[in-house]
Copies of this chain bind each other. A is one copy, B any other.
Amino acid sequence: MKDAAEILCIGTEILLGNIVNTNSADISRGLAELGINMYHHTVVGDNPERLKEALETAFSRSNIVITTGGLGPTYDDLTKETIAAYFGRKLIQHGPSIQSIKSFFRRIGGEMTENNLKQAMMPEGCMVLENHYGTAPGAILEGDGKIAIMMPGPPREMGPMFREQVLPWLAKRSSQVFRSHCIYFFGIGESALEAQLRKEMEQMTNPTLAPYAKEGEVMLRVTACAPSEAEAEALMEPVIQMLQQRFGDLIYGIDVDNLQTAAVRLLREKGLKAATAESCTGGYVAKRITEIPGSSDVFECGIVSYANSVKNKVLGVREETLKQFGAVSPQTAAEMAEGVRNLSGADIGISLTGIAGPGGGSQEKPVGLVYVGVSSPWHSEVKELRLGRGYDKERELIRWLASSHALSLIMGTARMKP
User: Whole-angstrom distance from the CB of A159 to the nearest CB of chain B?
Assistant: 10
Residues of B near A21 (CB, < 8 A) are 20-21, 24-25, 41
Interface string of A297-325 (1 = CB under 8 A from B): 00111111111011001100000000000
Within 8 A of B (CB), among A368-405: 389-391, 395-396, 399
User: Whole-angstrom distance from the CB of A252 to the nearest CB of chain B?
Assistant: 20
Residues of B near A30 (CB, < 8 A) are 17
> In whole angstroms, how far apart are the Cα atoms of A32 and B22 in the complex?
20
> Counting CB contacts under 8 A, is A250 at the interface?
no
> In whole angstroms, how far apart are the Cα atoms of A31 and B22 in the complex?
20
Binds B, one of A165-173, A200-208, A281-289: A281-289
Binds B, one of A42-50, A122-130, A142-150: A42-50
Residue of B nearest to A213 (CB): B18
Q: Interface on chain A toward B: helix, strand, loop, or mixed SS?
A: mixed
Residue of B nearest to A397 (CB): B156
Question: Interface centre among A212, A304, A305, A307, by most B CB within 10 Å?
Answer: A304
> Counting CB contacts under 8 A, is A88 at the interface?
no
User: Whole-angstrom distance from the CB of A263 to the nearest CB of chain B?
Assistant: 14
- Which of B17, B290, B357, B390 makes the CB contact (< 8 A) with A304? B290
Residues of B near A22 (CB, < 8 A) are 20
Residues of B near A20 (CB, < 8 A) are 20-22, 25
Given the interface pairs A29-B17, A38-B15, A40-B50, the reply to whether A296 lies near B307 with Cβ below 8 Å is: yes
Residue of B nearest to A273 (CB): B307
Do A302 and B301 touch across chains, with their CB atoms under 8 A apart?
A: no
Within 8 A of B (CB), among A147-199: none
User: Whole-angstrom distance from the CB of A136 to the nearest CB of chain B?
Assistant: 16
Given the interface pairs A21-B21, A282-B291, the reply to whether A296 lies near B302 with Cβ below 8 Å is: no
Residue of B nearest to A358 (CB): B293
User: Whole-angstrom distance from the CB of A39 to the nearest CB of chain B?
Assistant: 6
User: Whole-angstrom distance from the CB of A217 to the nearest CB of chain B?
Assistant: 14
Residue of B nearest to A15 (CB): B38
Do A44 and B50 touch across chains, with their CB atoms under 8 A apart?
A: no
> Counting CB contacts under 8 A, is A344 at the interface?
yes
> Counting CB contacts under 8 A, is A345 at the interface?
yes
Do B307 and A301 touch across chains, with their CB atoms under 8 A apart?
A: yes
Residues of B near A54 (CB, < 8 A) are 40
Given the interface pairs A40-B42, A45-B39, the reply to whether A304 lies near B282 with Cβ below 8 Å is: no
> Counting CB contacts under 8 A, is A85 at the interface?
no
Do B301 and A306 touch across chains, with their CB atoms under 8 A apart?
A: yes
> In whole angstroms, how far apart are the Cα atoms of A313 and B47 in the complex?
62
Interface string of A395-418 (1 = CB under 8 A from B): 110010000000000000000000
Residues of B near A107 (CB, < 8 A) are 390
Do A302 and B282 touch across chains, with their CB atoms under 8 A apart?
A: yes
Interface string of A1-20 (1 = CB under 8 A from B): 00000000100001111111
> In whole angstroms, how far apart are the Cα atoms of A314 and B300 in the complex?
12
Do B301 and A305 touch across chains, with their CB atoms under 8 A apart?
A: yes
> In whole angstroms, how far apart are the Cα atoms of A85 and B313 in the complex?
69
> Counting CB contacts under 8 A, is A229 at the interface?
no
CB-CB nearest 6 A-B residue pairs: A282-B290, A17-B28, A302-B304, A17-B29, A283-B283, A283-B286
Interface residues of A (CB under 8 A from B): 9, 14-22, 24-32, 38-45, 47, 50, 54, 57, 107-108, 133, 212, 276, 278, 281-287, 289-291, 293-296, 299-307, 309-310, 313-314, 343-345, 356-359, 389-391, 395-396, 399
A-B contact pairs, 26 of them (CB 8 A): A9-B41, A18-B212, A20-B22, A20-B25, A21-B41, A39-B45, A39-B47, A39-B50, A41-B42, A57-B57, A133-B391, A276-B283, A281-B287, A282-B291, A283-B302, A283-B304, A290-B356, A293-B395, A294-B359, A295-B306, A296-B306, A300-B306, A301-B307, A302-B302, A302-B304, A303-B304
